[in-house]
Amino acid sequence: MIFRDILPLWDISERVREERGWNMEPYFLNFNRAIDRWDEALPLGNGWIGCLLWGNGAPLRFSLDRADLWDLRPAPETLSEDFTYERLIAHVRDGDQEAIMRNMPADGGRPGSKRRSFITSMRIRSDFSPGRLFLLHKRI
């Protein structure tokens, strides 16, 4: 059911498309290279369930998540009695870069950081032969 929500075109057979005269060519996605990083992935979704599609086919990765899955654990740096957002805003206003870095969470929420703001609900890794990947790639 999830894949039908995320990728409705996969549910439409070639026979049905031909019978109805649907030209899907304008909707095909073609890439010059594989998407190697999750933060450059092809986003698919319906606003509630989302999927990041990435990889070179060996494996092809599907990272699935939902809009209501968030990591609400506080950053350790924000638990200190010295930390307040008011103080952080004052450092920004004063242009005190060193104080800002000292008071910000260590990873700053950057891609590749150990702390993430969302929780991936499922990951699927599938290996496809080059010919198989091309067919899948053409029909997305």
Q: Are residues 82 and 139 in the same domain?
A: no
pLDDT value, residue 94 = 95
Q: Are residues 63 and 4 in the same domain?
A: yes
The 3 state secondary structure assigned to the chain is CHHHHHCHHHHCCHHHHHHHCCCCHHHCCCCCCCECCHHHCEEEECCCEEEEEEECCCCEEEEEEECCCECCCCCHHHHCCCCCHHHHHHHHHHCCHHHHHHHCCCCCCCCCCCCCCECCCEEEEECCCHHHHHHHHHHC
Q: Are residues 38 and 91 in the same domain?
A: no
pLDDT value, residue 59 = 83
Q: Are residues 5 and 59 in the same domain?
A: yes
Residues 80-96 have pLDDT tens digits of: 787 788 888 999 999 99
Q: How many domains does the chain have?
A: 2
Residues 13-59 have pLDDT tens digits of: 677 777 888 887 777 777 788 888 888 898 888 888 888 888 887 78
pLDDT (average), residues 60-79: 78
96: left (phi over 0), alpha (psi -120 to 50) or beta: beta
Q: Are residues 52 and 91 in the same domain?
A: no
Q: Are residues 6 and 29 in the same domain?
A: yes
pLDDT at 70 over 80: no
Q: Are residues 39 and 62 in the same domain?
A: yes
Q: Are residues 35 and 81 in the same domain?
A: no
Q: Are residues 92 and 106 in the same domain?
A: yes
Residues 98-132 have pLDDT tens digits of: 888 777 765 554 544 555 556 667 888 887 755 55
pLDDT value, residue 15 = 73
pLDDT value, residue 131 = 54
Q: By residue range, what is the domain housing residue 92?
A: 72-116
Q: Are residues 6 and 64 in the same domain?
A: yes
pTM beyond 0.75: the answer is no
Q: Are residues 111 and 51 in the same domain?
A: no
Q: Are residues 96 and 138 in the same domain?
A: no
pLDDT-based confidence at residue 137 (cuts at 50, 70, 90)? very low
